[in-house]
């Protein structure tokens, strides 16, 4: 008799598969939630979509749970007498220009017991038990500096000088709250950091040159920094011909410095040219400004709009077969194995 499949695994696998297939692409802006990250290079690589984290279904469901918690927190705050607005689909945004922006969980107009007349920016987070304990022991600035920075940016952008950090422990539903004061100097430095990194043409220095450094060891950019030194992503932001601008757009040199719509940025075009900081090869002076010349295994390889002697970025990354024209003497470069679309 045929065995009955373990339905629980089948159901879970199907659900996770659905979430994996529907995961969102990388965000277009440099988010306030990221700007407290310790590594300039990581921020640059994520903004340039040169390293795109792909999460499994379970992680994606976990993120969804965190987002749904916001609704419950707001409902509890209202039940406790606070006036809360700009939540859920009506969230307010702060925009600092040059691609730096963020969305606020909510605004508490009044009713926070320690300062009932004061307005507060609301920031909601869920924590594992371990993280929650550290938060209770050290406070948000020390235990979760990235969250503290996020709130500084929100206060800076709204002109509200207090934030309420609301944390829930996922294991046992304990609540921790902390009122955070606006720190103008820190907030301005964070905005400047964001603008410097979004508008920077070249990849910043790494946080550490030691591949075993604790903050690098499990970083999703570890391979780009220390191993292949090669991006796996083809989109307009990994292309050497794109330029981010002060007014939060991207321009393309191949198409007369026209603005590239965000959806088009995600696909790029056939004339994509790999950014010189995202490949391990030596960059040689180009003869037309729209084609890169790389030295790969001692041979000169042209990268750009594919033609008789020019190879596409997809070919160079091994995403499609290496096309050799009859007259093409170019060598087949040895690219890092395991590169995926």
**Span near ligand SF4 by CB under 6 A; candidates 35-43, 87-95, 123-131, 326-334:** 35-43
DSSP, residue by residue, 2-46? PPPP-HHHHHHHHHHHHHHHT-----SSEETTTTT-S-HHHHHHH
The DSSP letter of residue 238 is: G
278 forms part of the interface with ligand SF4 (CB under 6 A): no
CA end-to-end span of the chain: 42
Instruction: Please identify, using beta-carbon distances, which residue of 152 and 312 lies nearer to ligand SF4.
Output: 312
Rounded Cα gap, residues 203 and 253, in angstroms:
19
Residue ranges in 282-321 that form contacts with ligand SF4 under rule CB under 6 A: none
Residue ranges in 127-156 that form contacts with ligand SF4 under rule CB under 6 A: none
CB of 216 to ligand SF4, least distance (A): 3
CB of 110 to ligand SF4, least distance (A): 41
Considering only residues 34, 73, 84, 207, which one is a binding residue for ligand SF4 as defined by CB under 6 A? Answer: 207
41 forms part of the interface with ligand SF4 (CB under 6 A): yes
Considering only residues 236, 293, 296, 335, which one is a binding residue for ligand SF4 as defined by CB under 6 A? Answer: 236
- Angle 143-148-153 from CA coordinates, rounded to 5°: 165
Rounded Cα gap, residues 124 and 5, in angstroms:
40
**Span near ligand SF4 by CB under 6 A; candidates 34-42, 109-117, 187-195, 319-327:** 34-42
Q: Say how far residue 6 (Cα) sits from the centre of its chain.
A: 37
**Span near ligand SF4 by CB under 6 A; candidates 23-31, 61-69, 132-140, 211-219:** 211-219
Considering only residues 34, 135, 221, 293, which one is a binding residue for ligand SF4 as defined by CB under 6 A? Answer: 221
With H, G, I as helix, E, B as strand and everything else as coil, classify residue 110.
strand
User: What are the Cα distances from residue 308, in Å, to 63, 127, 219, 285, 327?
Assistant: 47, 56, 39, 19, 7
Residues that bind ligand SF4 (CB under 6 A): 39, 41-42, 45, 206-208, 215-216, 219, 221-222, 225, 236, 239, 241-242, 252, 254-255, 260, 268-269, 271-272
């Amino acid at each position: 008799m045929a065995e009955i499949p373990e339905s629980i695994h089948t159901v879970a696998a199907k659900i996770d598969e659905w979430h994996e297939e529907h995961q969102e692409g990388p965000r277009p802006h440099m988010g306030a939630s990221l700007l407290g990250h310790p590594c300039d290079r990581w921020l640059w690589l994520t903004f340039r979509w040169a390293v795109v984290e792909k999460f499994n279904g379970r992680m994606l469901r976990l993120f969804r749970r965190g987002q749904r918690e916001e609704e419950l927190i707001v409902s509890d705050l209202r039940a406790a007498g606070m006036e809360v607005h700009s939540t859920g689909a009506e969230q307010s945004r702060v925009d600092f220009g040059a691609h730096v922006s963020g969305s606020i969980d909510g605004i508490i107009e009044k009713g926070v017991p320690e300062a009932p007349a004061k307005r507060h920016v609301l920031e909601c987070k869920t924590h594992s038990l371990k993280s929650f304990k550290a938060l209770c022991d050290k406070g948000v600035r020390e235990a979760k500096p990235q969250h503290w920075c996020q709130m500084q940016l929100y206060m800076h952008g709204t002109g509200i000088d207090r934030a309420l950090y609301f944390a829930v422990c996922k294991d046992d539903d304990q609540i921790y709250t902390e009122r955070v004061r606006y720190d103008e100097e820190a907030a301005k430095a964070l905005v400047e950091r964001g603008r410097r990194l979004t508008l920077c043409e070249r990849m910043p220095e790494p946080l550490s040159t030691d591949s075993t450094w604790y903050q690098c060891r499990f970083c999703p950019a570890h391979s780009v920094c220390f191993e292949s030194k090669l991006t796996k992503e083809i989109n307009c932001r990994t292309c050497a011909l794109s330029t981010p601008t002060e007014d939060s757009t991207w321009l393309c040199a191949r198409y007369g410095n026209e603005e590239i719509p965000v959806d088009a940025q995600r696909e790029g075009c056939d004339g994509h040219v790999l950014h010189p900081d995202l490949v391990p090869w030596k960059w040689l002076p180009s003869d037309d400004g729209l084609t890169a010349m790389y030295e790969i295994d001692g041979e000169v390889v042209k990268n750009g709009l594919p033609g008789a002697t020019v190879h596409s970025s997809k070919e160079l990354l091994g995403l499609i077969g290496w096309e050799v024209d009859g007259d093409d003497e170019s060598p087949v470069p040895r690219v890092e194995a395991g590169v995926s679309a």
